[in-house]
Amino acid sequence: MLNKQVQITTNSLDETRALGEKLGKNLDPGTVLALSGDLGSGKTAFIQGLAKGLDVPDNYYITSPTYTLINEYPGRYHLFHVDLYRIENYADFDDIGLYEILRSDGVVAIEWADKLPKNLLPEYLAIHIDILNDESRKISMAAYGLRGENLIGKIINSSKEKTWD
């Protein structure tokens, strides 16, 4: 059930990463982020900021796991960065260990989450990124469950310190 939503416009790649970092600083173990948006919209840049907020060491370069499907990073909480772009069917989810990852205590960030079956994620934060122009992005966050609702509340409260459109 959708509880709360917010839209934030970022005007540069650095602002998109900063928003991801802000979110990462407020995450709890077991949080699932379901990202969607066109190619080049900034999903990986957002996750780079998320990793920084989760204290992933700087010597880990955060890249999209388009070919490896899942990248894992150590941090305050273990970060699983999943990319479903190349997944063809639901049976592949078991092959890559997605169900096991979703039951872990780590933070799971899933790019191309729109490929997931409906009702697979009981509680998550949906993040959709729209391209407005070369630099600007509209980032829509929708909470499904109490954990996501609390995250959006923290983002809204902390955004009062910085001017986001």
Mean pLDDT, rounded, for 31-55 = 94
- The phi-psi region of residue 70 (left if phi > 0; otherwise alpha if psi is between -120 and 50; otherwise beta) is beta
Q: Which residues contact 125 (CB under 8 A, 6 or more apart)?
A: 31, 32, 33, 34, 141, 142, 143, 144, 147, 148, 151, 152
pLDDT number for residue 87: 77
In a 10 Å sphere around its CB, with 0-12 CB exposed, 13-18 middle and 19+ buried, how is residue 96 labelled? middle
Cβ atoms of residues 111 and 82 within 8 Å: yes
Instruction: Give the C-alpha separation, 22 to 107, whole Å.
Output: 15
pLDDT by residue (tens digit) across 4-19?
Answer: 888 999 999 999 999 9
Rounded Cα distance, 52 and 24, in Å: 7
Which residue ranges form the domains of the chain, and what is each CATH number?
2-159 (3.40.50.300)
Q: What is the pLDDT of residue 90?
A: 65
pLDDT at 2: 55
Per cent of the chain over pLDDT 90 is: 53
Q: Say which DSSP state 112 is in.
A: T
- Residue 159: pLDDT band with limits 50, 70, 90: low
Which pLDDT does position 63 carry in this prediction? 86
Per-residue pLDDT reduced to its tens digit, 130-139: 999 999 999 9
42 near 13, Cβ under 8 Å? yes
pTM score above 0.85: yes
> What tokens were used for 112?
């191309």
Query: Which helix H or strand E contains 22, and what residues bound it?
Result: helix 13-25
pLDDT value of position 165: 38
pLDDT at 117 over 90: no
